[in-house]
Chain A
Amino acid sequence: MKTLFEKIGGADAVNTAVEIFYRKMLADERVNYFFDNTDMDKQIAKQKSFLTMVFGGPNNYTGKDMREGHKHLVARGLNDEHVDIVIEHLGGTLKELGVADDEINQVAELANSVRDDVLNR
């Protein structure tokens, strides 16, 4: 069975998705302050690996990296609500790209599975 990553068009589609997804995040005042001092290019690279992972593409995701990478944000108050917002924008992004609802739900499930790593619990 094809992964969603293959279905939506592989790496090129991820590049397009990140552009949409990151714009949604940066425009959302509930989460955009977390990005105040981040370098956009590095952030985009990180989001590409994240999206590749939740689309079921080839990735080298490790829970340890996810924990390390978000520790400083958890200290700044990153919590479940923010993870919900990420999943919401991920869904919105996929909808714009014409992905079907049940596949969006699968992605949301995968994204949800790293919640505890992200929140360092």
Chain B
Amino acid sequence: MPSLTYKGRTFTLQDQQSTLEGLENQGEVIPNSCRSGLCQSCLMQAVSGTPTSESQQGLEETLISQNYFLACKCIPMEDLDVTLPTDSAVSIQTTVLGKELLAEDVLCLRILHQETFSCSAGQYINVVKDDLIRSYSVANLPEVDGYLELHIKRLPEGRMSNWLHDSIAVNDHVTIRGPAGHCFYSAVEDRNFPILLAGTGTGLAPLEGIVSDALDKGHDGVITLIHGALNKSGIYHEDKLNELAGTHHQFTYKQSLMDSADPANSDLNAVVRAELENLDLSRVKVYLCGAPALVNKLKTQVFLQGIPSYNIFSDPFITATTGT
């Protein structure tokens, strides 16, 4: 088995053990969250040895070339000497510009956009607080607005979300990393294909970002956004989206509420299926964001309905699996 060196100490990994698990077994504290290779919070760097290519999936080229990798996905093939990245190497510091409550438990956080930090609406960034790192989607057009807008749902035991809701103040500094993720608007040949976006809770954030991006770039195909929630209290930005629909003929905004008396509206899966029936299945691009179980189910459903897998974009919101 390959050996791992961290902070000058060397030990042997067990069979099929990831770098993250190995380090945790040794009592080390390594920032992590989704533990499935998506959130990038367990980013580390190999100062000697080469990390597996699987552990570098989704990383930017510049990071890959410097042997950065994701500890949760790295079952090393050779001996590695690893280190946590320094903040100055992979993070930037920026400033909180505004805080506003969107719904009972959803905070809108606006942070200053810096030109060196290039990200697309719909991608996610990581917010760093000591050894805590959590991912949030970009809900707006940072280059147009001059700030990044994040929607933060308060989780009962969520250390990061509670800190952002209760403690951080306007003008405070905040450290961010990223961006990452492939869930964003892209148009290669034409801008008249249909777009269907569906999500629950703060899964609205990336979807709103994608809609803004598409409209800003002059997309003229039909764009339908469906926001799902348990009930009306989970809905936010209703006025903003209705207004957007009023000023852009190609854009439609809908809600799917689980407590709705109308069965055609209460089941998000059914609403999505019905919407797709009116669209050109060979051309429509589908964006799905929100709780992983729901996103996975919707993905399978739309794929079986006939959407090619390369036209399905998703961003499952995986919450931290331990010690949130």
Contacts and interface: CB of A to CB of B under 8 A. Distances in A.
Contacts of A41: 309, 314
Contacts of B316: 39
Given A19-B308, A19-B309, A40 B303 contact: yes
A26 B303 CA distance: 9
Given A37-B296, A38-B296, A39-B316, 5 more contacts: A22-B309, A23-B303, A23-B304, A40-B303, A41-B309
B219 interface: no
Interface in B158-203: none
A61 interface: no
A40 B16 contact: no
Interface in A20-66: 22-23, 26-27, 35, 37-41, 44
A68 interface: yes
B93 interface: no
A56 to B, nearest CB: 24
Contacts of A68: 16
Contacts of B308: 19
Interface centre among B304, B309, B314, B316 (most CB of A within 10 A): B309
Of A18, A37, A40, A44, most B-chain CB atoms within 10 Å = A40
Interface in B288-324: 296, 299-300, 303-304, 308-309, 312, 314, 316
Interface residues of A, number: 14
Contacts of B312: 40
B276 to A, nearest CB: 15
For chain B, the bracket of interface size reads 10 to 19
7 contacts: A23-B303, A27-B304, A37-B296, A39-B296, A39-B316, A40-B296, A40-B300
Contacts of A37: 296
Interface centre among A18, A41, A44, A68, by most chain B C-beta atoms within 10 angstroms, is A41
A29 to B, nearest CB: 12
B302 to A, nearest CB: 10
B296 A26 contact: no
Contact of A35 (B16, B300, B309, B314): B300
A37 B300 CA distance: 11
A54 to B, nearest CB: 19
A68 B17 CA distance: 13
A94 B296 CA distance: 27
A2 B229 CA distance: 54
Q: Which of B300, B304, B312, B314 has the most CB of A within 10 A?
A: B300
A23 B304 CA distance: 6
Contacts of A35: 300
A63 to B, nearest CB: 16
A82 to B, nearest CB: 18
A35 B308 CA distance: 18
Contacts of B303: 22-23, 26, 40
A19 B304 CA distance: 10
A70 to B, nearest CB: 14
Contacts of A44: 309
Interface string B79-92: 00000000000000
